[in-house]
């Protein structure tokens, strides 16, 4: 038996409940617990499950690190980055040298924030600079700064 869970507008997770036989008490009890769980929660399908959002960002960063040969490259400034932010750590050494995931279209203006086509890897410094501006505006601003320096 397969139970589907909708976690964003485009994504679903499938849970396989009965792998062996349906008479197995362990799988039957897990089915009952899942049914009870989904009856009692109030799901807003317009909201994105933060767990899926985290997994989508992590897989995007892993794929990009593999493409660049063991490190990341900031999309905006071209700097090589070797460190990723550690979860649940309040203080990080030199936060500007950490890789972050930025959105081409800002989160508040896009339909699906988990879409990896909207992700860009960049250093923390550039991500803070970009803030809520669009991708094209930020690239123009970066080019103008670069021309002023030259």
Task: Please list, in sequence order, all residues whose beta carbon lies within 8 angstroms of the beta carbon of residue 139, skipping any fewer than 6 positions away.
Answer: 76
Return the sign of the alpha-carbon dihedral for residues 107, 110, 116, 122: negative
pLDDT value at position 87?
62
pLDDT value at position 116?
85
pLDDT value at position 8?
61
Confidence of residue 1 (pLDDT cuts 50, 70, 90): low
| pLDDT per residue as tens digits for the range 17-60 | 555 555 555 566 666 666 666 666 655 545 666 777 788 888 89
| pLDDT per residue as tens digits for the range 47-106 | 666 777 788 888 898 899 989 898 999 999 899 998 877 665 556 666 667 888 998 988
Nearest to 100 by CA among 70, 51, 50, 60: 60
**Length in residues, the chain:** 150
C-alpha to C-alpha distance for 39 and 14, rounded to whole angstroms: 17
pLDDT value at position 74?
92
User: Global pTM?
Assistant: 0.60
Distances from the Cα of 62 to the Cαs of 8, 126, 150, in angstroms? Answer: 22, 20, 35
pLDDT value at position 73?
93
Nearest to 59 by CA among 115, 19, 104: 115
- Return the top range by mean pLDDT from 2-6, 48-52, 131-135: 131-135
The phi and psi torsions of 110 (rounded to 5 degrees) equal: -100, 160
């Amino acid at each position: 038996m397969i139970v589907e869970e909708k976690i964003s507008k485009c994504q679903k997770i499938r849970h396989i409940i009965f792998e062996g036989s349906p008479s197995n008490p362990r799988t039957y009890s897990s089915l009952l617990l899942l049914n009870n769980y989904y009856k009692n929660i109030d799901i807003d399908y317009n909201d994105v499950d933060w767990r899926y959002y985290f997994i989508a960002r992590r897989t995007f960063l892993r794929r990009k690190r593999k493409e660049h040969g063991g490190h990341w490259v900031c999309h905006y400034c071209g700097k090589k980055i070797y460190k990723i932010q550690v979860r649940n750590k309040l203080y990080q050494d030199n936060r500007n040298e950490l890789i972050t995931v930025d959105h081409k279209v800002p989160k508040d203006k896009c339909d699906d924030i988990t879409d990896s086509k909207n992700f860009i890897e960049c250093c923390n410094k550039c991500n803070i600079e970009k803030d809520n501006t669009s991708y094209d505006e930020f690239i123009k601003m970066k080019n103008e700064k670069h021309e002023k320096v030259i």
